[in-house]
Amino acid sequence: MHVQLRCDCDIRPPPPAATMTTLRPQAPASGCLRCPCSLPPSRPGFTLVELLVVIAIIGTLVGLLIPAVQSARAAARRIQCASNMRQVGIGILNFADTHQGRWPDTTHTVEPDPVTGEFTRAWIYSVAPFIESVDAIRICPDDKLATQRLAARMTSYTLNGWLSSEARPSFDRMRTITEKTKSILAFELSEKKGFDDPYADHVHSFDWFTTTRKNRGLVFQGVANEVAVGRHLRSAHYLYADGHIESIAEEEIARLCAPPWQEPEFSRPR
């Protein structure tokens, strides 16, 4: 009578060498992984200290990596915003070219809705026909109200009020601006203005540098209430009348909003 010896753990020894047609994975050459009959010599494990050192090293590497990834993402958002604003600028300039040099109307200068009587049409929709996809570029990726502004048909980019007929003097015609490289067309709109105020499609920049505000030291506060001066790593983008974009640090804007006053002040076209 023939008795076959079996391993207790029920794991079979390795099968015969694979044939050319066998595609299944091979069992380890040492056979049973659990029973003493064929176990390879056991390997020493990590000590607690070694484990803690490895965890500490991984933690340090992750700690170094996360800020690098975050700053790369912030840089990408900043570039996207500048690109958006550049396309907005092309839209505004093309609009002006086809409207006898007039800038688009703001919600304060356009005709109100004939039914509701409200001024609801932001200027961005006047220039939309001159932009490939206005919804793709009207929101800054670092705007904390991006989703709400997108849904409310508003924009993160707000027109310089000096370009509207509200201003005195008004720069509502392209020909009134002689230094296009120094004249701002649009700013980044501050979150302080909310997302559903249709009048926030432009800023009352002509009120920023009044004598009263200068005397009370309130100029910068007035600007920062309307413009997101620190949106991108304590700086923001500014669209100029020649179509170029500048990134200006918040401190620089604060400096321009304090004595000695620059003439003309930075937001006023020239």
Q: Cβ of residue 254: shortest distance to Zn ion, in angstroms?
A: 18
Q: Where do the DSSP E strands lie in the chain?
A: 157-160, 184-188, 202-203, 235-240, 245-249
Closest of 149, 141, 142 to residue 124, by C-alpha:
149
Query: Interface residues for Zn ion in 184-243 (CB under 5 A)?
Result: 188
Contact status: 81 vs Zn ion (CB under 5 A): yes
Options 27-35, 57-65, 80-88, 209-217: segment touching Zn ion (CB under 5 A): 80-88
Nearer to Zn ion, 135 or 179 (CB): 135
Nearer to Zn ion, 32 or 103 (CB): 103
Nearer to Zn ion, 32 or 122 (CB): 122
Nearer to Zn ion, 191 or 242 (CB): 191
In contact, 124 and 134? CB cutoff 8 Å: yes
Fill in the per-residue mask, 151 to 170: x = in contact with Zn ion (CB under 5 A), - = not in contact. Answer: ---------------x----
Half-sphere exposure of 269 (CA within 13 A, CB side): 27
Give 120's contacts (C-beta < 8 A, 6+ positions apart).
107, 112, 113, 198
Handedness of CA 251, 257, 260, 266 (dihedral sign): positive
Q: Cβ of residue 257: shortest distance to Zn ion, in angstroms?
A: 20
Can you tell me which of 99, 102, 108, 173 binds Zn ion, judged by CB under 5 A?
108
Q: Cβ of residue 166: shortest distance to Zn ion, in angstroms?
A: 5
Can you tell me which of 93, 131, 140, 223 binds Zn ion, judged by CB under 5 A?
140
Options 23-31, 49-57, 92-100, 133-141: segment touching Zn ion (CB under 5 A): 133-141
Hunting for tokens 């991984």 — which residue is that? 58
Give 72's contacts (C-beta < 8 A, 6+ positions apart).
none
Q: Cβ of residue 84: shortest distance to Zn ion, in angstroms?
A: 7
Q: Cβ of residue 113: shortest distance to Zn ion, in angstroms?
A: 17
Tokens at residue 205, please?
Answer: 């920049």
Handedness of CA 222, 226, 227, 230 (dihedral sign): positive
Nearer to Zn ion, 30 or 70 (CB): 70
Options 81-89, 129-137, 171-179, 238-246: segment touching Zn ion (CB under 5 A): 81-89
Using DSSP bridges, classify how beta strands 157-160 and 245-249 pair: parallel, antiparallel or unpaired: unpaired
Q: Cβ of residue 157: shortest distance to Zn ion, in angstroms?
A: 8
DSSP of 119-181: ----THHHHGGGSS-HHHHSS-TT-TTHHHHHHTT--SEEEEGGGSTTSSS---BGGG-S-GG
* Residue ranges in contact with Zn ion by CB under 5 A: 81, 108, 140, 166, 188
